[in-house]
Amino acid sequence: DAKTTQPPSMDCAEGRAANLPCNHSTISGNEYVYWYRQIHSQGPQYIIHGLKNNETNEMASLIITEDRKSSTLILPHATLRDTAVYYCIVRPPGPGNMLTFGGGTRLMVKP
């Protein structure tokens, strides 16, 4: 799997947008970009994934650059409950390919 690089930590004010960057410069053409988050002492929670196009769901938006070498997860209105470690992962399709977790970004949402 291609590796990803994320800042180890970020702060965000409650109610503001949280923009979490991820570099994946060695991504292959068929690899998807996934975002998960892990709130303390819980299992990871799926947020969103994409291949080339930008994606949006009820939780977040995913912006992937045209060259696919980086992406940004956007939480439009961060709340205190969004405080968690956010993981950006790239993975090829196929049922046998697992998610490999890096260090992630620890997002602290402050009042």
Partner 1 sequence: GAVVSQHPSWVICKSGTSVKIECRSLDFQATTMFWYRQFPKQSLMLMATSNEGSKATYEQGVEKDKFLINHASLTLSTLTVTSAHPEDSSFYICSVRGQRGSSGEQFFGPGTRLTVL
Helix (H) or strand (E) holding 63: strand 61-64
Which lies closer to partner 1 via its Cβ, residue 14 or residue 44? 44
The least CB distance from residue 33 to partner 1, in Å, is 10
Task: Return residues touching partner 1 (CB under 8 A).
Answer: 32, 34, 36, 38, 41-46, 49, 51, 87, 93-96, 98-104
- How many Cβ atoms from other residues are within 10 Å of residue 111's Cβ? 7
Which lies closer to partner 1 via its Cβ, residue 96 or residue 111? 96
The least CB distance from residue 47 to partner 1, in Å, is 10
The least CB distance from residue 103 to partner 1, in Å, is 6
Which lies closer to partner 1 via its Cβ, residue 49 or residue 69? 49
Rounded CA gap, 106 and 87, in Å?
Answer: 9
- How many Cβ atoms from other residues are within 10 Å of residue 52's Cβ? 12
The least CB distance from residue 99 to partner 1, in Å, is 5
Instruction: Please count the CA atoms within 13 angstroms of the CA of 91 that sit on its side-chain side.
Output: 17
Which lies closer to partner 1 via its Cβ, residue 14 or residue 101? 101
Instruction: Please count the CA atoms within 13 angstroms of the CA of 7 that sit on its side-chain side.
Output: 11
